[in-house]
Structure 1
Amino acid sequence: MLKNLMARLGHGAAKVDLVLNRNQFALGEFVEGTLVIQGGTVQQSINKIDVRLMVIVRSHESEATHLVTSIPFHQSFTIHPGERKEFPFQYQLPNDLLLSGNYVTYFFQTELDIAGGVDQTDRDYIEILPPQSLQQILLALEQLGFREKHDSRMFNGYVQEFAFFPTSYLNGQVQELEFAATLLPEGVRLQLELDLYSHGREQEVKREVFIYNDQLQSVSELTSFIQEILDEMVQHPHSAYHMEHHYGYHEHHGSGMGEAIGGFIAGAVGGMAVSELLDDDDKDDDKEENEDDEGFLEDLFEEDDD
């Protein structure tokens, strides 16, 4: 009798544990593991198990936790004292999630729904890594001497922004390099922005660049390719914004907007995240900055006419 009462209060109750095969994943990969239910001191009825993928999105001073998706396991069963049950778990990550970083954290929250008792929970953190195509670009920037900033990979309410500072190449000429990325079957579209030092003030230079899959194969060739683009941006900051034809890139007839990094989060919680993360004192400044960036970012969401 006492055991039953204590179990209803959570003491000696059944426990749940999501055991993942690993904790690092690329976009689009399958997360696989095992749901382990360990019986407590008394027999209990389990209504269901819910597994939720959650994301914590931070700004400089605030953070907000949001549901990415819920993966219900609709199977009721009875767990006997000391019994162990295992169920396979699998979930495919979307291709347009934010990548993990200093301002983005993911975890699975697993909840065991116990009939007439206190539900039991488990939390497992995972890391979402850049896809291979984007990783090649990051390696090329590293070869050029760029280092990723602490506040890189922040979510601006629309997409995830990557930010770098020069350590050798362009040091003294460029304060910061930023980009947002869209993944397409043919390659990666980058929205580039350089903050230049110009006569004692900053000057923003923006370009749209499409890098095809065959250009992503060799890091050394990709490094030279990106250097050529950055050199042009520094030497001719007022030239045409759209750079595909200027550089003789293959003409791009894309298949829509593709998978913008962070697009899933933008669609699911973007507006909410921005309102929760921005401090009241910063909203006016950020609003003005977002209006300036609107033209820069809107191309990520426009479908190609072809």
Structure 2
Amino acid sequence: MVFKRLLGSMGVGGPAVDTVLDPVAAVPGGNLSGEVRLTGGRADFDIERVTLELVARVEAETEHGEHDGVVVFERFTVGGGFRLHEGERRSVPFAITLPWETPVTELYGQPLGIVLGVRTELGVAGAKDKSDLDALAVRPLPVQEAVLEALGQLGFTFKSADLEYGHIGGTGQQLPFYQELELAPAPQYAHQVNEIEVTFLADPAGMDVVLEADKRGGLFSGGHDALARHTVRHDQVAHTNWNAEVDAWIRAMVESHAARAAHGSYGHGSYGPGSYGPGSYGHDAYGHAPHKDEHGHGQGGHHRSGPGVGTAIAAGAAGLAVGVAGGMVAAEVVDEVGDYFEGEEGEEDGGDEDS
């Protein structure tokens, strides 16, 4: 028995962990359920804790360029304080609530290229901790889907989606990063705008929709970014003409910016200069605090680069009928989630990953 415990402390013959998520895409602010399945090792072990971490691949802009890193954005303890006997099989069911600002990873069942995961940490007394990683799928809230559907109906097409490290000033943002959806302009705006970026910051009452337009430069003036923010409630979904509403947002942002440009004054959007200034910054898994440049793009400390999973999606004539470019399908995205985070684990703790 002493020899078995010694092997267990070295990571040999210890317990195994496998987390199984319920096969339904979650929504921001909604429940995520499943079970952690444990298999006893070659001896009895005391399980001190069973912890779930929500992790994301996030981009950060630094003076050395753009880098990828892993951010833990929520942590839950779902079990622990029991003995797992040799060879015993035990299940720990769980139901947790996702943060309201959890990024959306798919639209109409198609992946957007956003990498999220649920990492399970098994704290084992007298042995190496064990871990497991599973891809996390998150679909839009109804109000988010309504805005995206309207953009598709208006002729905007999706280019890519990513997670930017930093804080959008002037908002109640809680997470240390935010999601940007990049859209090519609708034909009626193509002569004025290079692209539109959309960010959703949801909360229990509704959400802020932050819009940023990359303006085209004219003959005698350079291009400038235009910013705007709009607040909508969850209960507005069924009672709003979203095509008209969203089109009014875009028109107001572009026209207001054009008026300021005519007077030689470029502000920071329809909600005032400096709205993207310093805010209550979070920290990433490496302890780096983010910064903002003049356009509100997140910056942080150096992150180790990881594999890119950028995928482009296109809006169809009937709305946002999503198609994934480059041949990447959902299963491949799931595989890349595991490959990416396993690489991070290997660098950080010697690869003690038990998938």
TM value normalised by structure 1: 0.69
Matched, 1:238 2:243: no
Checking the alignment, whether the CA contact within 8 Å between 1:58 and 1:104 is kept in structure 2 is no
Structure 1 unaligned blocks of 5 or more = 244-262, 276-285, 292-306
Alignment of 1:169-248 (within 5 A): 169-183=188-202, 187-200=206-219, 201-211=222-232, 216-217=237-238, 221-235=241-255, 237-238=258-259
The alpha-carbon deviation at position 100 of structure 1 amounts to 4.0
Matched, 1:269 2:283: yes
Using the alignment, how far apart are the partners of 1:117 and 1:188 within structure 2? Answer: 45
Q: Which has the higher contact order (CA 8 A, sep 6+)?
A: 2
The alpha-carbon deviation at position 43 of structure 1 amounts to 2.7
Give per-residue Cα distances to partners, 1:81-122, cap 9 Å, x unaligned: 322111211211121234448785322222222222222211
Checking the alignment, whether the CA contact within 8 Å between 1:40 and 1:81 is kept in structure 2 is yes
Aligned residues between the structures = 259
Using the alignment, how far apart are the partners of 1:48 and 1:182 within structure 2? Answer: 32
Using the alignment, how far apart are the partners of 1:186 and 1:53 within structure 2? Answer: 23
The alpha-carbon deviation at position 32 of structure 1 amounts to 0.8
Report what 1:91 is aligned to: 96
Using the alignment, how far apart are the partners of 2:208 and 2:50 within structure 1? Answer: 40
Using the alignment, how far apart are the partners of 2:76 and 2:235 within structure 1? Answer: 37
Matched, 1:123 2:144: no
Report what 2:86 is aligned to: 81
Using the alignment, how far apart are the partners of 2:236 and 2:74 within structure 1? Answer: 35
Structure 2 unaligned blocks of 5 or more = 107-111, 169-177, 261-266, 272-278, 298-355
The alpha-carbon deviation at position 212 of structure 1 amounts to 5.4
Matched residue of 1:133: which SS? helix
One-letter amino acid matched to 2:26: F
Using the alignment, how far apart are the partners of 2:88 and 2:249 within structure 1? Answer: 62
TM value normalised by structure 2: 0.61
Report what 1:11 is aligned to: 12
Using the alignment, how far apart are the partners of 1:147 and 1:273 within structure 2? Answer: 33
Checking the alignment, whether the CA contact within 8 Å between 1:104 and 1:153 is kept in structure 2 is yes
Which structure shows the bigger proportion of residues in strand conformation? Answer: 1
Report what 1:26 is aligned to: 27
Checking the alignment, whether the CA contact within 8 Å between 2:44 and 2:86 is kept in structure 1 is yes
Report what 1:256 is aligned to: none
Indicate the percent of aligned positions where both proteins have the same amino acid. 24
Checking the alignment, whether the CA contact within 8 Å between 2:104 and 2:138 is kept in structure 1 is yes
One-letter amino acid matched to 1:89: F
Report what 1:282 is aligned to: none
Provide closer, same or farther for how the CA distance between residues 134 and 208 of structure 1 changes in structure 2, counting only shifts above 3 A. Answer: same
Using the alignment, how far apart are the partners of 2:252 and 2:123 within structure 1? Answer: 59
The alpha-carbon deviation at position 78 of structure 1 amounts to 2.4
Provide closer, same or farther for how the CA distance between residues 72 and 228 of structure 1 changes in structure 2, counting only shifts above 3 A. Answer: closer
One-letter amino acid matched to 1:107: G
Matched residue of 2:57: which SS? strand
Checking the alignment, whether the CA contact within 8 Å between 1:23 and 1:126 is kept in structure 2 is no
Using the alignment, how far apart are the partners of 2:120 and 2:203 within structure 1? Answer: 33
Checking the alignment, whether the CA contact within 8 Å between 2:121 and 2:130 is kept in structure 1 is yes
Matched residue of 1:138: which SS? helix
Matched residue of 1:70: which SS? strand
Provide closer, same or farther for how the CA distance between residues 29 and 267 of structure 1 changes in structure 2, counting only shifts above 3 A. Answer: farther
The alpha-carbon deviation at position 31 of structure 1 amounts to 1.1
One-letter amino acid matched to 1:83: E
Checking the alignment, whether the CA contact within 8 Å between 2:59 and 2:163 is kept in structure 1 is no
